[in-house]
């Protein structure tokens, strides 16, 4: 697996934005032009007021400056809109790319990571957290840059008029910052805590929705379902406590920053009266001080977004930095489909699940894996399908270590049908077509007929165009599984893994499914995991797995004589059938 190569948040953000740096540069340029245009009305007002005091009655002079003010306002509106257009066009392309990278990443990480990470947490990161980078990318870069650079230029101009008044006009900034620092105290800690609480709440909400059937069956309402209510209350409490702790500081800062006249007017009057400040300069400084403080406050407010970047990009990076299943890019020549496991071990966390599996799975034959629950049967199947990486030993396909086979090539070779075949919230037709992109309707229906699900599909409200619902929720477990088998038949892969694929099939339809499976695996290498031993008695070989090891191996009749565990399992199975 790849080692994690951690990047700091700003470098990762720069990496996301790099392909669109031209648009961001254009956005910054237009933003600067827009903020600069916004200062023209202030200069115009200062010039007109000074002229009025001096007794200038020339109408054309005032009309000219009114026109300049209007032009400056128009430049501000136009340039800021163009800046926003460039920044948002680039930003939404970045957001789309980030989501694509994350989705692509999830196809390359071990299944253990996906099983350990609640789906609600992944959803929160891929949707809400990724959306949260919109503000830093689309607004902070152009607007904060412009709101800092242009006022700095104006401040330099104020210093050329009178350095004392320039300093006085800025005195509210440090005073406001003192209050602002109080508001930002422990910001990273509080924001991270609020974010984690929000992700936990999202994961709990998804769990609540997925488990609503059980919750209703046991009369657990939203209020009485403790895990749900605790998550919601914790999230609410953290956010409210954060707001209460900062609202006083925020109110003080927002009140102090704009109050520039509290310093400018008395100081200016004093300097004017003692003759060290001219009237025109005094008027210009009064008006421009109003214009300078607004953009600076706007720039300061963006620090809130900057403070969030580390947590936001950290959440995204945590997924993108997950170790992957390491596979080469170049395809390998595979002519046969025999599989061999040589001293395979596997640990799930600190728990060792497989403890040295040695098994030869002949090409074109049927190999069944049986054993008690938790013995490691499904783990073996998932390791063959490369959902996980072996901890030790190796698995070979046609003599080639599967670690040396590109993931895409291996996925084309293997059709995996899990115990609970997942269906997407799409039409039945498109769910089957997932097995072979570009398959015609005729090919889809042929696979459905071969798997024995054509008849029940035609009885659905819209036939093949019926929407299966989220996770196939509009269909029964047996119907979902039969559609999953049809999908595997359409794929027509040379190796088929059936991980208890008949688990949800009722006895009446079991014969139909077994007949469909027989067609599916004809001439293919089949690995089948089953609790119903009656479905695998004709297998070429049966491997009995117990406590992560091969306890016995052979045909059905031989195992009944030589393996006590298999014999007990068979007697339990046949006894259960007799009682039904």
CATH number of the domain that 500 lies in? 3.40.50.300
pLDDT at 579: 45
Terminal-to-terminal C-alpha distance of the chain: 48
255 C-beta neighbours (distance < 10 Å), count: 12
Q: Give the per-residue pLDDT at 7.
A: 66
Is 1 inside any structural domain? no
Which one of 288, 320, 352 terminates a domain? 320
DSSP single-letter state for residue 535:
G
Residue 2 lies in a domain: no
Determine, yes or no, domain membership for 279: yes
Q: Can you tell me the distance from the alpha carbon of 316 to that of 7, in angstroms, rounded to the nearest whole number? A: 11
Block mean pLDDT (10 aa), the chain, length 580: 56 81 89 87 88 86 91 92 90 86 82 72 78 79 80 84 85 76 70 74 71 56 64 78 75 74 84 87 84 75 71 80 81 88 86 89 89 86 86 90 87 82 82 85 87 84 83 72 83 84 59 66 82 81 90 90 88 62
Instruction: Please indicate, yes or no, whether residues 445 and 304 belong to a single structural domain of this protein.
Output: no
d(CA 265, CA 285): 10
The DSSP letter of residue 275 is T
303 and 345 assigned to the same domain = no
Q: Does residue 124 share a domain with residue 204?
A: yes
**Contact of 40 with 72, CB cutoff 8 Å:** yes
Distance CA 56, CA 50 (A): 9
| Cα gap 500→396, rounded to integer Å | 23
Query: Can you give the residue range of the structural domain that contains 482?
Result: 339-579
pLDDT for the residue numbered 580: 45
Please say which residue of 293, 320, 347 terminates a domain. 320
CATH of the domain at 270: 1.20.1560.10
- Is 216 a member of any domain? yes
Q: What local confidence, expressed as pLDDT, does residue 340 receive? A: 92
Rg (CA), the chain: 35
The two three-digit tokens of residue 570, written as one number:
């068979």
Looking at the fold, whether 517 and 432 belong to one and the same domain comes out as yes
Residue 406 CA, chain-centre distance (Å), reads: 25
The angle subtended at Cα 426 by Cα 421 and Cα 428, nearest 5°, is 65
Q: Are residues 359 and 288 in the same domain?
A: no
Residues 118 and 51: their CA atoms lie apart, in Å, by 69
For residues 293 and 355, membership in a common domain is answered with: no
Does 332 fall in a domain? no
pLDDT at 4: 45
Q: Which of 289, 320, 351 is the last residue of a domain?
A: 320
CA pair distance 244, 73, nearest whole angstrom: 38
Tokens 């790849």 sit on residue:
2
pLDDT at 166: 84
What is each CA distance from 371 to 95, 421, 517, in whole angstroms?
47, 22, 21
* Within a domain: 327: no
Shared domain for 115 and 225, answered yes or no, is yes
Whether residue 333 lies inside any domain: the answer is no
Write down the residue that tokens 């659905």 correspond to.
460
Q: Check whether residue 350 and residue 303 sit in a common domain.
A: no
Same domain, 20 and 152: yes
Question: In this predicted structure, what is the pLDDT of residue 223?
Answer: 53
The string of DSSP codes covering 130-151 is HHTTHHIIIIIIIIIHHHHHHH
CB 11 within 8 A of CB 63: no
Same domain, 386 and 315: no
238 and 270 together in one domain:
yes
Domain for residue 329, yes or no? no
Number of domains in the chain: 2
Residues 291, 432 within the same domain? no
* Spatial contact of 197 and 316, defined as CB atoms under 8 Å apart: no
């Amino acid at each position: 697996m790849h080692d994690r190569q951690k990047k700091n948040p700003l470098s990762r953000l720069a990496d996301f934005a790099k392909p669109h740096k031209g648009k961001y540069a254009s956005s910054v340029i237009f933003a600067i032009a827009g903020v600069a245009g916004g200062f023209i009305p202030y200069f115009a007002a200062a010039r007109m007021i000074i002229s009025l005091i001096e007794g200038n009655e020339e109408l054309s002079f005032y009309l000219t400056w009114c026109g300049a003010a209007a032009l400056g306002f128009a430049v501000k509106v136009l340039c800021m809109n163009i800046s926003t257009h460039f920044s948002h066009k680039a930003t939404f392309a970045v957001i789309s790319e980030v989501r694509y990278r994350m989705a692509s990443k999830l196809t390359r990480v071990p299944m253990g990571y996906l099983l350990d990470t609640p789906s609600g947490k992944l959803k929160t990161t891929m949707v809400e957290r990724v959306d949260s980078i919109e503000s830093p990318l689309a607004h902070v870069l152009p607007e904060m840059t412009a709101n800092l650079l242009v006022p700095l230029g104006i401040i330099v101009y104020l210093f050329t008029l009178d350095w004392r008044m320039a300093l006085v006009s800025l005195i509210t900034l440090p005073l406001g910052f003192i209050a602002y620092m109080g508001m930002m105290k422990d910001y990273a800690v509080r924001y991270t805590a609020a974010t984690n609480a929000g992700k936990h709440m999202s994961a709990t909400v998804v769990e609540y929705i997925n488990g609503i059937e059980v919750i209703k069956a046991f009369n657990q309402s939203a209020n009485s379902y403790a895990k749900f209510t605790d998550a919601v209350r914790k999230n609410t409490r953290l956010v409210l406590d954060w707001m209460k702790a900062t609202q006083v500081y925020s109110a003080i800062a927002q009140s102090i920053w704009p109050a520039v006249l509290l310093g400018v007017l008395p100081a200016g009057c004093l300097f004017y009266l003692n003759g060290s400040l001219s009237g025109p300069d005094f008027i210009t400084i009064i008006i421009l001080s109003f214009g300078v403080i607004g953009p600076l406050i706007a720039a300061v407010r963006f620090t809130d977004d900057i403070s969030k970047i580390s947590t936001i990009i950290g959440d995204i990076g945590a997924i993108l930095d997950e170790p992957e299943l390491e596979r080469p890019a170049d395809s390998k020549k595979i002519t046969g489909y025999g599989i061999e496991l040589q001293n395979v071990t596997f640990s799930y966390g600190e728990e060792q699940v497989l403890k040295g599996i040695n098994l030869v799975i002949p090409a074109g034959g049927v190999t069944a894996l049986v054993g008690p629950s938790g013995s490691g049967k499904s783990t073996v199947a998932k390791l063959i399908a490369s959902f996980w990486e072996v901890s030790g030993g190796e698995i070979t396909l046609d003599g080639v270590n599967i670690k040396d086979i590109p993931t895409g090539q291996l996925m084309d070779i293997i059709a995996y049908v899990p115990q609970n075949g997942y269906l997407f919230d799409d039409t039945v037709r498109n769910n089957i077509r997932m097995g072979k992109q570009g398959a015609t309707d005729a090919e889809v229906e042929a696979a459905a007929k071969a798997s024995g699900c054509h008849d029940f599909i035609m009885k659905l409200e819209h036939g093949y165009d019926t929407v299966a619902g989220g996770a196939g929720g509009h269909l029964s477990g047996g119907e979902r599984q039969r559609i999953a088998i049809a999908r595997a038949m359409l794929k027509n892969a040379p190796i088929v893994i059936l991980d208890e694929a008949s688990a949800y099939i009722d006895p009446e339809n079991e014969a139909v499914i077994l007949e469909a499976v027989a067609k599916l695996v004809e001439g293919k290498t089949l690995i089948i995991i089953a609790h119903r031993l009656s479905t695998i008695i004709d297998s070429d070989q049966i491997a009995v797995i117990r406590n992560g090891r091969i306890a016995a191996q052979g045909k059905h009749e031989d195992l009944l004589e030589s393996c006590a565990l298999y014999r007990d399992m068979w007697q339990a199975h046949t006894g259960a059938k007799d009682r039904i």
